[in-house]
Amino acid sequence: AELVLKMLQVLACSGLIRGEHLDMLWAVTEAEGTFDVVKSNVYAMIQELAGHLDKSLLEQLFAKFEVLARGKCLADSMRLLELLRKLATSDTARPDATNKTSLMAERLLDMIWQLTMPADAPPELLATDAMPDVLRQYGGHGHREYCDMYLQRCVEALRARQSVFT
């Protein structure tokens, strides 16, 4: 796994990583009978690579996350939620993270919302506190607008009784 990660990092840092590389890596997680530890290793690789991906590759990656999120397998949802949290940590740890730019904030927050906040969300997902933790990370790096936006979404969901809290 370490050798594969190093090769992918070289490609990513050189701007040579392509969608096919991500497809091959992601396919490992989708293969029937893949052990959880292998999936976790692939997710760790994705976390390491994400900060080096261009916008189109990030979009491709998030499309894969969305398919996984729709699968409704609790173990996969928990693993995805943890990956999203780690990606937020990586995104806010970038040297330019305080200058109001973020590569992934909106997509990460939206996916975490979709996983944890619907009325039928499993309580285990909500118990991770992923949404407030990630909002706290971005808010602490000059992205208060996300905190305000998601607070408003919470209030609207409560009023409409479309939230896990109702």
Q: How far apart are CA 164 and CA 166, in angstroms?
A: 6
pLDDT at site 165: 65
State the Cα–Cα distance between residues 16 and 92, nearest whole angstrom: 24
pLDDT tens digit sequence for 47-74? 989 888 888 999 999 999 999 888 878 9
The pLDDT score that the predictor gives to residue 72 is: 73
CB 134 within 8 A of CB 88: yes
Assess whether pLDDT exceeds 80 at residue 138: yes
Q: What is the pLDDT of residue 166?
A: 56
> What percent of the chain lies above the pLDDT cut of 90?
44
Q: What is the dihedral of CA 28, 30, 32, 38, to 10 degrees?
A: 40
**Could you identify the residue written with the tokens 């285990």?**
124
Burial label for 115, CB within 10 Å (0-12, 13-18, 19+), is buried
Find out whether 17 and 56 touch, Cβ atoms under 8 Å: no
Mean of pLDDT over the chain:
87
